[in-house]
Each structure stands twice: as structure tokens, then as C-alpha cells.
Amino acid sequence: MEAPEAREATIAVELNHTIVFATDRQASAEFIAYVLGLEAGAPFGPFLPVETANHVTLDYATAPPGTDISVQHYAFLVSEEEFDAALARIQEARIEYFADPHLTMPGQINHLYGGRGVYFRDPDGHGMEIITAPYTRTPTAPG
């Protein structure tokens, strides 16, 4: 395998899409679209996409009946205004939210990395997170 520095850099690597398995693709796509103030797109084969501002799509797919859905984590970087609006929608819909990924600090907001963040679960238990500051490798204490 060729060393990374020896490869010619012709394209920056970007995440384009990820598949999110759900028991009901419509319900799950609409859930995250509602929280984030986005729209679920038109079906594309077995997928129902939700596109973010940086053009990454979460392609929701209904898992076959009886399939165990592996819980995943998705973090969304939002502006302060978008955070306020998303948190208001979370509270209005009475979605339980937490300041920490272990879900031990209910109803609280964290202030990691100089921003604000909350964790919540989607209808299938996927861990969703909204943050206003990108994570660095030197965290400050939650809370």
C-alpha cells in the first residue's frame, strides 16, 4: 500500500452520505428533519434522504422485519440560532435530552469546547447530538 504522503492529492475527502437503518424510514427521517429544521427529501430507491447544509445526506432505510438495528451516533454542528430553535422543538415535542452521551444529565445542556450541546435519541434509539462548537481533542468538563 502506498504511503499517504506519496499519493497525489486530487480530491479532498468528504463524507457524502450514510445509511441509517430504522424500523420506519419515514418516521425516523421526519423526526430528525423536524428537530433540525430540515426537510426529508423524495424517496430514492429504498432510501429517504435528509440532507444537511454541507450536502451530506442521512439516507434512512427501513430495516427488514426482525432485524436488530445497531444503534449509531450522529452529531450535527449547528449555529447558536439553530441550536436555540432545535432545542425549542425538542422541548416542545417533549423529547428527553441530556448534557452527556451516557444520558445521566437529563434536561441539561453541556458547554463543551466553548459551545453548547445536547444528546437525544431518535425513534430507534440512535444517539443524536447537536453542538454549536466543533469538538477538539481537549474537552472541558460537561455542564
What pLDDT, on the 0 to 100 scale, is given for residue 11?
79
d(CA 60, CA 139): 31
Q: Which domains does the chain have, with CATH numbers?
A: 4-64+71-131 (3.10.180.10)
Question: In this structure, what is the dihedral angle of CA atoms 36, 41, 44, 47, given to the nearest 10 degrees?
Answer: 30
> Which H or E run includes 18?
strand 17-22
Residue 8 CA: distances (Å) to CA of 4, 5, 28, 54, 58 = 9, 8, 40, 25, 30
Predicted TM-score (pTM) of the model is: 0.86
* Residues 90 and 118 sit within 8 Å (Cβ to Cβ): yes
Over the stretch 73-131, which tens digit does the pLDDT of each residue have? 999 999 999 999 999 999 999 999 999 999 999 999 999 999 999 999 999 999 999 99
